[in-house]
Structures are given as C-alpha cells and as structure tokens.
Amino acid sequence: MNKLKAFPQLVIVMGVIFAIMGVVITIGGGYITWFVGDQLAAQNIVTPDDASIPNAQVNSIPTALSMAAIIGQHADARSGGLSYAEMGRFAVADGNPAGTSNRDEALLNEAGNPVANSARDTQLTAAGLITSLSLSAMALGASYGAIALGIAFTILGIVVTGLGYALLGLVDPQVAERFGLSPIAVPA
C-alpha cells in the first residue's frame, strides 16, 4: 500500500513546489514593475508637447517609448539625420553637422584648438537616453510577463496538488473519506 501512496505524494509535493515558485515569480515581477516605474518617475521626465503622448510623466512603457522616440526625432533634426558614427569629432566653419575628424579642417577656438562637434555630442547623449528609456520599457514588459508566468505557475501548482490528492484518495481510505471518495480495491 505504501508504494501506491508514493506517486500521489510526489505529485502533491511537485504541485506545492510549482505553487511556491509561482508566488515567488509573481512577487519578483511585481517588485521589478514597482522598482523600474519608481526609478522612471523619480527622474521627473515629462514628455514634450510634440511627443506622441504629450505632457505626460514618463513612468510606463508607452510614455518611455514616446519620450525615446521624440528624443530621437529632436536629435535627428539637430544632426541633419546623421548618426553619431556618421559625424566628425570637430565642428566646421560652415556649421555643417557632419563636421570633420580632420584637425586641419576643423573650426578653431580662441586658443587655436579644434571645437567639438556639438551635433555629434547631442547624438551621443540622445543615443544613451533612448537606450535607457527603451531598456526601462523592456524591463517593465518583462516584469509583466513574469507576473503572468508566476500566476500561471501558481494555478498549475494548485491543480497538480489537487490531482495528487485525488490520486491519493484513490489508494488511501482515510483521504478518500475526507473528500467523499471510495478508494479503489487493492488486490491482496
């Protein structure tokens, strides 16, 4: 009889483990959601009037992606659509955002040193901000997925535990009696 009880008991243990894992994953996903949202909100970023979601505090996936998109648009306007890698390190006299990496062609300051290409610096800053905002949006999305997965694991654990008890009720008269079942007859 004890050998017959081993499998249902193993099923019950596995169900409990699934349920516990589900609760832990759900709590972890909830914490990440709170943490990333809190970090975004702490920056007090508000989308500008020309963003796809205007005048909104950046604290969610849609607002983070809206802010990233408008930063990219503003940086492209400043650089003439050139990326950071397409621009030279130094400014040129005619103000072309492409600039130059040749010191001899560069605009010089009063001390005779080449002037940095500010459009290129803007693109570098924009790339960092866009990446940060996009990663925040991705982290929030992953945390929502973790919450959903955790809930699914919890439900699965409850169902598997219930199946384990049902199997145990088929072989153990005391368990069967608690659930109003009749155990199967075990040959002697």
The pLDDT tens digits of the residues spanning 54-105 come to 999 999 999 999 999 999 999 999 999 999 999 999 999 998 999 999 999 9
Domain-embedded: residue 187: no
Mean pLDDT of 151-177: 86
> pLDDT grade, residue 4 (50/70/90)?
confident
pLDDT beyond 60 at 28: yes
Distance CA 158, CA 80 (A): 59
Q: Chain-wide mean pLDDT for the chain?
A: 91
Radius of gyration over every alpha carbon of the chain, rounded to an integer in angstroms: 31
| Domains of the chain: total | 1
| Residue range of the domain that includes 123 | 2-178
Amino acid making up residue 110: E
Average pLDDT over residues 146-169: 93
| pLDDT (0 to 100) of residue 49 | 96
In a domain, 137, yes or no: yes
Q: Cα(122)–Cα(78) distance, rounded to whole angstroms?
A: 8
Residue 3 is predicted with a pLDDT of: 73
The answer to the question of residue 109 being in a domain is yes
pTM above threshold 0.85 = no
**Helices within 43-117 (DSSP H only):** 61-79
pLDDT at 161 over 90: yes
Span 142-162, mean pLDDT? 97
Does the residue 185 lie in any domain?
Answer: no
Query: Would 184 be classed as within a structural domain?
Result: no
- pLDDT (tens digit, 9 = 90+) per residue, 96-108? 999 999 999 999 9
Closest CA to 90 of 109, 119, 114, 113: 114
Q: Is residue 94 part of a domain?
A: yes
140: tokens are 């929030």
pLDDT over 60 at 187, yes or no? no
Q: How much is the pLDDT for 172?
A: 74
Question: Cα angle vertex 39, ends 38, 45, to 5°?
Answer: 100
Identify whether 186 is part of a domain: no
Cα separation, 143 vs 26, in Å, equals 9
Residue 188 within any structural domain of the chain:
no
